[in-house]
């Protein structure tokens, strides 16, 4: 067993340990509730912890399996997210072929490129080839009604749910000198700092939040976000040994990823508000959809990928 | 022996259809007006695609699905061996011949199925809706059922998104999320005439359609 695998197993066990504690705390608070009352904050917390169990177990398995596991896991997540996204966008019959291509050609090819580690094509395939090809396919059907809106919404869906999501597994393909096979740990680092930042932002926002950053759109507060990003940076420092960055740069990377992720969460809240839905779908019981779960990691991933590639490869 | 094999094959094929529906459309039931309990019901639904009926059939819990039979066109379902197998053995459809030269007496068949204890799935628009209107005018069948068997719940059932998942003439289905919404049950009032009831039924079904933000 390699050192990387041992590190991953240790991280998984730490994750499970934290979740055991969080679950016990929640169950303890629940037991202290008077009978027949439901505390919505506590229930939201418990649902989050539950979905975390699923995420930790699936992600751990995928990371331990390695490149194939990670690529397949995120390809499936992309598929589910794209399905949620396109369910809500503007489309007409003339877009049928373009959308079918997005699902059955663009998405698998993007993950094939990630799996093969072809950096040159995975970063441009969707923004160049898909974005130019799909509107041609739509236009050939001759329906110009709301054409620009239809094309723009389909492209934004692909950008977010395939291009951005695929940058999480793409981290494994980064060739960082002296880092060897440990690039898989960057995925763990990114997911942990972003998700912990989110959770602590939610916690501090509830406790001390006053100033809403996007009133009427998102419950996020300035105070909560500052604390969340601060905590993400601290966690980044604690986990710096996973990365090739060194302590201070690891803190900076964690802070940037967490902040961008929170921004992504607000953007998704705006899209949901625009479409008049509360959640993206109901695929994860009580939790909404895949996009609800992925939103902050989705936004953080390409930024994290390109910063790491620019400064360390 | 042959019958046993056929019914076994139908069971497997039904499972495959449900898995396929789940994978492609993540199809989900939204029980707004009723609970998924085994009461005798006539689910009446909008009709935009040949996939409507399998979708409703797929989201029903097993106990309800076993006692639910779609009412379908014999001139569609009996045209090939495969369709006959699907219509007769998988969905156990009440098959009705729509051809004008055949006097099939559809109401008799439908009432007979109800009297056997089956729930039904019907499409009161009578044909697939290809236009921009939310619903086509309803045929009288649903009123006649409600009048003849007033105890049976008439449940409005909205199938969302199937017209974009599988538009007429396309071969590849798009994997978009399909939701089947069940509304509050209707009954024909004692002094209600046909047109008034059909208007009320149509309105109750249209009210289940998702509001699209524009």
Q: How many CB atoms lie within 10 A of CB B195?
A: 12
Query: Is residue A7 helix, strand or coil?
Result: helix
Contact A83/B213, CB-based, under 8 Å?
no
Structure confidence at residue B214 (pLDDT): 41
**Residue A139: φ, ψ to 5°:** -65, -30
Cα distance between the two ends of chain B: 57
Backbone phi and psi for residue A282, each to the nearest 5 degrees, phi listed first: -120, 25
B171 at A interface, C-beta within 8 A: no
pLDDT tens track, chain B, 214 positions? 678 888 888 889 999 999 988 888 888 888 988 888 888 999 999 998 888 899 999 999 988 998 999 998 888 888 888 888 888 888 888 888 877 777 778 888 889 899 998 999 999 998 888 877 888 889 888 999 988 888 899 999 999 888 788 877 788 888 888 889 999 999 988 888 889 999 999 999 999 988 654 4
Q: Give residue B108's pLDDT.
A: 86
Beta strands, E only, chain B = 28-31, 41-45, 68-73, 94-96, 119-122, 153-160, 179-182
Residue A192, pLDDT > 80, answer yes
Taking the CA of residue B177 and the nearest CA in chain A, the distance in Å comes to: 6
Q: Is A274 on the interface with B (CB under 8 A)?
A: yes
Find chain B residues with C-beta within 8 A of A96's C-beta.
164, 167, 170, 172, 174
Q: What is the pLDDT of residues A208-226, one digit of tens each?
A: 888 888 888 888 899 999 9
pLDDT digit string, tens, across residues A284-311: 655 677 777 788 999 999 999 999 999 9
Query: B176 vs A83: CB contact, 8 Å cut-off?
Result: yes
Is the pTM higher than 0.90? The answer reads: no
Question: Are A257 and A304 contacting, i.e. CB atoms less than 8 angstroms apart?
Answer: yes
Residue A290's pLDDT is 77
Question: What does DSSP say about strands B153-160 and B179-182: parallel, antiparallel, or unpaired?
Answer: antiparallel
Residues of chain B contacting A106 with CB distance shorter than 8 Å: none
Of B132 and A271, the one with more pLDDT: A271
Instruction: Spell out which residues of chain A touch residue B28, defining contact as CB-CB under 8 Å.
Output: 282
Asked if A99 reaches chain B (Cβ–Cβ under 8 Å), the answer is: yes
Asked if B203 has any chain A CB less than 8 Å from its own CB, the reply is no
Q: What is the mean pLDDT of chain A?
A: 89
Whether A146 and chain B come into contact, CB under 8 Å, resolves to no
Nearest CB to B174; choose among A80, A96, A274 = A96
Q: Does B130 reach chain A within 8 Å, measured CB to CB?
A: no
What's the longest Cα–Cα distance across chain B? 57
Q: Assess A91–B contact: CB distance below 8 Å, yes or no.
A: yes
Which of A93, A96, A103 has the CB atom closest to B175's CB atom? A103
Question: 3-class SS at B182?
Answer: strand
* A298 vs B203: CA distance, rounded Å: 41
């Amino acid at each position: 067993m390699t050192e990387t695998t041992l590190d991953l197993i240790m991280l998984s066990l730490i994750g499970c340990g934290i979740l055991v504690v969080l679950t016990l705390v929640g169950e303890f608070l629940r037991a202290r509730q008077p009978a027949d009352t439901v505390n919505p904050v506590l229930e939201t917390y418990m649902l989050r912890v539950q979905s975390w169990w699923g995420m930790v177990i699936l992600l751990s398995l995928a990371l331990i399996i390695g490149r194939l596991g990670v690529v397949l896991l995120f390809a499936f997540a992309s598929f589910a997210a794209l399905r949620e996204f396109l369910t809500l966008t503007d489309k007409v019959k003339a877009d049928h072929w373009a959308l079918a291509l997005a699902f059955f050609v663009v998405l698998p090819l993007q993950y094939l490129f990630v799996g093969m580690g072809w950096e040159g094509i995975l970063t441009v395939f969707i923004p160049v080839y898909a974005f130019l090809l799909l509107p041609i396919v739509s236009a050939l059907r001759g329906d110009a009604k709301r054409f620009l809106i239809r094309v723009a919404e389909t492209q934004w869906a692909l950008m977010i749910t395939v291009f951005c999501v695929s940058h999480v597994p793409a981290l494994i393909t980064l060739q960082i000198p002296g880092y060897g096979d440990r690039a898989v740990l960057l995925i763990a680092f990114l997911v942990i700092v972003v998700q912990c930042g989110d959770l602590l932002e939610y916690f501090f926002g509830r406790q001390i939040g006053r100033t809403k950053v996007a009133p009427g759109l998102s419950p996020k507060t300035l105070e909560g976000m500052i604390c969340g990003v601060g905590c993400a940076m601290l966690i980044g420092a604690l986990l710096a040994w996973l990365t090739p960055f060194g302590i201070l740069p690891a803190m900076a990377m964690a802070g940037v990823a967490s902040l961008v992720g929170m921004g992504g969460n607000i953007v998704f809240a705006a899209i949901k508000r625009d479409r008049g839905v509360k959640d993206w779908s109901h695929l994860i019981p009580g939790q909404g959809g895949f996009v609800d779960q992925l939103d902050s990691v989705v936004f953080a991933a390409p930024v994290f990928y390109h910063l790491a590639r620019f400064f360390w490869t | 022996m042959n019958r046993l094999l056929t019914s076994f094959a139908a069971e497997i094929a039904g499972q495959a259809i449900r898995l396929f529906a789940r994978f492609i459309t993540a199809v989900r039931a939204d029980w707004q007006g009723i609970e998924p309990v085994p009461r005798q019901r006539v689910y009446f639904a909008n009709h935009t695609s040949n996939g409507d009926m399998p979708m409703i059939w797929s989201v029903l819990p097993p106990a309800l699905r076993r006692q639910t039979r779609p009412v379908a066109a014999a001139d569609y379902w009996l045209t090939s061996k495969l369709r006959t197998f699907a219509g007769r053995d998988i969905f156990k459809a009440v098959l009705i011949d729509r051809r004008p030269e055949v006097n099939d007496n559809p109401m008799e068949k439908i009432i007979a199925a109800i009297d056997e204890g089956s729930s039904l799935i019907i499409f009161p628009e009578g044909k697939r809706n290809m236009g921009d209107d939310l619903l086509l005018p309803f045929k009288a069948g649903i009123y006649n059922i409600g009048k003849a068997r007033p105890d049976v719940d008439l449940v409005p059932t909205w199938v969302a998104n199937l017209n974009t998942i599988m538009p007429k003439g396309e071969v590849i289905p798009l994997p978009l999320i399909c939701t089947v919404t069940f509304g509050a049950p209707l009954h024909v009032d004692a002094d209600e005439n046909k047109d008034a009831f059909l208007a009320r039924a149509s309105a109750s079904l249209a009210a289940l359609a998702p509001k699209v933000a524009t």
